[in-house]
Structure 1
Amino acid sequence: MLIRPNCYRPIIAALAAMLVGACASTTEETALSITPMPVPTDEDARVLLRQSRYTLVELRPDAGQQNLLRQIIDLRIPATHATTVGDSMRYVLRRSGYQLCEGDPVLATLWDLPLPAAHLRLGPLPLNQTLQLLAGDAWRLSIDERARQVCFITTQSNGEAQP
C-alpha cells in the first residue's frame, strides 16, 4: 500500500489549530489563579514568601542576628587606630552590641599587649572566634549576656580556666 504525503496535511493542520487554540484560550480565572500558602500551625513552622514563580524565601533572622557572637565580621584594622590588643578589640566590638569589661587589673595586661601585624586583617570569621584570636591561647573568652560584656579568663598551661 502506497501512502500519499498529501493525505496527512488536513490532519496536521487540524492538530496545529487545536494546539494553538488551546494555548490561546486561557480563561481569566486560570491566568490569575493564586496558590494559597499553608498557614503555619505552631510557632516553629517556617514562614515563606513567594518572590517569583519558582522562588520561595524563608522569613527568619539569620544566625548572626539571633546570636550576636556568631555574626560574621570581615574588617581591616587601621594600623594607626589600634596599636594594642585592647584598642583592636574595641574596634572589632564597636558596632557588635558588645563592649569590653574594663577595670580588672589582670585584663589590663592583655589590653596593653602590642597588636601583631598578622591581626590587622581579620575575617571573615564569627565575632567570638575573632575575639579569641586576638586574645590568644592563654585567655578564654567569657561573655556576660545580660550586660553584653566581653571578658577573658586566664588559662593555666594545661588548658583549665583560672579563677
Structure 2
Amino acid sequence: MKLHPALPVAATLLLSACTANVPIAHIPAPPSSSPVAGPAEVVHTSRYTLVSLTADETLRFPLRQPVSHTLSAPKKNRTLTRGDALHIWLSGTGYGLCLPVTDDIRRLYTSPLPDIWRSAGPLRIHDALQALAGPEWAVVTDELTYTVCFRRTSQTLS
C-alpha cells in the first residue's frame, strides 16, 4: 500500500494547529551582589593548557603560602633553637630576620625549640613564625627590605 505524498504534511499541519502558542515571559535576572570581574588574561602554553597572566596570592605575598617543614636533628649533639627554625621557615621566601639583634631577640633566637615543632605543617609561613615566637611576640614585616622582625607585645620580663 502506497501512501499519498501529502499525508505527512497534512499530519504535521493538523498536529501543529492543535498546540497553543504561549507567550514566553521575560524574567529579569536578579542583580548580582558582587562586582562583575573582567575577563581574566590568559595565554595558551600548549594545546589544552591556558595559564593566567595575573600573579596569584602566593607570588604577591610569599609569607601567606602554606608550607610544611620537617627539621632534622642538628649535628654534634647541638640543640635546635627557635632561631634555627625561624631561618628554616623563611628559607626560599626572600625574607630574612632583621638586624640588629637586641638582648630580648637574642633570648628568643637562642631558646630551645619544642619537639612538637620538628615536624609542622602545612601552615602559612606568617602563622608559623607567629606560633614559633609565641604570644609574647608580634611578627612585623618590612616589605621594603624584606625582613621579618619580632616586637615584644608587653615589656614585662618573665
Quote the Cα distance in structure 1 between the aligned partners of 2:64 and 2:111: 25
Q: TM-score, normalised by structure 2?
A: 0.63
The alpha carbon displacement at 1:52 in A equals 5.3
The alpha carbon displacement at 1:60 in A equals 2.3
Alignment equivalent of 1:99, drawn from 96, 100, 113: 96
Determine the structure 2 residue equivalent to 1:88.
85
Determine the structure 2 residue equivalent to 1:146.
144
Determine the structure 2 residue equivalent to 1:65.
59
Quote the Cα distance in structure 2 between the aligned partners of 1:152 and 1:60: 32
Quote the Cα distance in structure 2 between the aligned partners of 1:79 and 1:131: 20
Give the fraction of aligned pairs with identical amino acids, expressed as a percent. Answer: 32
Determine the structure 1 residue equivalent to 2:68.
74
1:26-77 per-position Cα deviation (integer Å, ceiling 9, x unaligned) = xxxxxxxxxxxxxxxxxx7521235656x65433222111111112211111
Structure with a larger share of its residues in helix: 1
Quote the Cα distance in structure 1 between the aligned partners of 2:65 and 2:130: 14
Quote the Cα distance in structure 2 between the aligned partners of 1:60 and 1:121: 33
Which one scores higher on RCO, CA 8 angstroms, separation ≥ 6?
Answer: 2
The code of the aligned residue for 2:61 comes to N
Structural mapping, 1:7-26, within 5 Å:
none
* Long gaps (5+) in structure 2: 2-37
Q: Secondary structure at the match of 2:129?
A: helix
